[in-house]
Structure formats: structure tokens, C-alpha cells
Amino acid sequence: MRLAGAIDIGGSSAKIGIIAEDGSIVSRDSVPTGLHGEPAVVVDAIASALLPMLDVANAEGRPVSGIGVSVAGFLNGDRSAMVHNANLPALREFPLRRTLEERLSLDCRLEVDSNAAVLAEYRYGAGQGSTRLLGVTVGTGLGGGVIIDGELLRYTGECAGDLGHIILDPNGRLCTCGARGCLEAMVDSAALSERAGGRPVREIIGSAQAGDELALAALAETGQWLGLGLASLSPIFSPDRIVVGGGIAAAGDLLLDATRASYRMHARPEFREKTHVVGSSFEGWEGIVGAGSLFLAPLA
């Protein structure tokens, strides 16, 4: 079975791994990136963690085909660099593809993280069989990707645009983009943490699963805002399915029950009936699965 290396660079950490052509994760790890880390330091940390995995694959006689790289933010036209992301300023305009190829001695392909995530769901996960798929990932920020009739939608920054920055509440939280009340600002990990007394996301989810009322309420409020945002996006993309992934989605129905209820309350009647909101199949690792598929099962 063919293998590919995979990197998913987010605002606070980078997930890395080896992906098989059936979408399974052969090996995985994560390294911190930091919102303001130097590009060379970030690349070195990623390479240092990934190279031993590549060595193991080579030693087993299963060398990887190349490295798929998912990165948060807009890409330039030839997909060689990230050109805009308020949450990852250090990598803006940095020759990421070339630098990784030099460091890893393998071909690399860059993709917008939201595209990689929705591609993983479409090929291997909760989006299989969908003809109009909207995928959102919720973590340090919120990104969204769209696949229509098997093709990725690309019209801004090599993706469907900055879906996390529709404004839900003009008096809401200040977003990293400079506006107030963006969907991203209302549902990201910082917003969830504030609602739960400053605790980190993983602790909030664990506490909610144990019945902690403050954690449950924080997830429910986050889900209400997320449902409103998805209802607002639906007339634009007319999805038959919406997949919610990312670190916060690890809360499962503790988040999604409120999301679905809010979606049904705010969406146009036609979308209440035809659009299904589901959780990711990958427990936050959809980015590396989609990144690996850039070599194993690519879309245009």
C-alpha cells in the first residue's frame, strides 16, 4: 500500500504523520509552532519530527511518495507559499514549499488547511457520498472548505474564501482579523476557553464529559453560535452535508447537539430539511489525512 508524508500547520501546533492510500494514519505526532515563531525554527521543528518517521518507512521498504502540506491561510496562485492568515503571521510570504523540499529531500505539495480537511472527509470520512459538501474546522481559528460534484471550490486564496469571517454579532468578541463578532471569534478555542473560566479546550471537553455544568454550558453556547454561522453560510454553498471537525469538535454531541438545534432554528426551511450537520471521523487529525491524499488521491 502506498504511503505519503503529511504535515498540517496550524496557529498553535503542527501535526505530522505518515498516511496510507486508504486514509489510515500509519504514524503521527505534533509539534508546537507558536503564533509568532520564526519560519526557519518552525520548519526545523517539523522536519526534525517527521524525518525519523520517513526513515522508518524507508527501512520497512515502503518509501513515501512525497509530502502533502496543509497550512492555515490563503495560498498564492502556484501554491508555494501562504500569503494571508491573521493567526500565523510568521509564515506569510515565506517560501514554505521550497524550504520543506530542501529540508526533507522530497517533493511537497501545499494545500489550504480547510481544503485538506474537507478532502479527507469527502474521500475517507463523514463526507463520503456527498455531492455538495461543506467542511469546517474549529480550533485556533475557523476555516471552511467546499467540494461540489467532486471538485474543490477555489476562488479566493486557492480556497472557498475566509468563511470564518462572516459577522454574526457586531458587538461580539474582537477577532484577530480586526473585526468584531466574526464566526471565528465566537467559536474558536479562545472563545470557548473564556466561557469556561480560562481552561484549555482539552480540559473543558473532559470536564463536560464528566458532567461539569460550566463546561457543558460553554460548549452549548459555542454550538449555538456555530449553528448560526453554518445557517448563514448555507444559502451561499447550498450544502447537502456539513462536517464539523477540528480540536473543538472532539466534544462530539456535547457541541453538535447545540449546533444542530441552532442550525434548525436559523436556517432557511429548505436547508433544515436537506442539510445534515455531522461530526468529523478523524478526531482532529483530518488535516494530515487530507494532506497525505494530495499525493495518494489528488483532486485538482
Burial class of 73 by CB neighbour count within 10 A (0 to 12, 13 to 18, 19+): buried
| Residue 183 backbone phi and psi in degrees, to 5 | -50, -45
* Residues in CB range of 143: below 8 A, 6 or more apart: 72, 112, 113, 114, 117, 136, 137, 159, 163, 164
Per-residue pLDDT of the chain (300 residues; tens, 9 = 90+): 899 999 999 877 899 999 999 999 999 999 987 655 688 888 999 999 999 999 999 999 999 989 999 998 899 999 999 998 877 788 889 999 999 999 999 999 999 999 999 999 999 999 999 999 999 999 989 999 999 999 999 988 899 999 999 999 999 999 999 999 999 999 999 999 999 999 999 999 999 999 999 999 999 999 999 999 999 999 999 999 999 999 899 999 999 999 999 999 999 999 998 999 999 989 889 999 999 999 887 665
* Residues in CB range of 287: below 8 A, 6 or more apart: 6, 8, 10, 15, 70, 113, 116, 117, 120, 137
| 126-279: CATH number | 3.30.420.40
What is d(CA 97, CA 101) in angstroms, rounded to the nearest whole number?
6
pTM of the model: 0.91
What is d(CA 210, CA 252) in angstroms, rounded to the nearest whole number?
14
Helix (H) / strand (E) containing 98: helix 96-104
| 3-113+288-296: CATH number | 3.30.420.40
Q: Which residues pair with 74 in a beta bridge?
A: 84
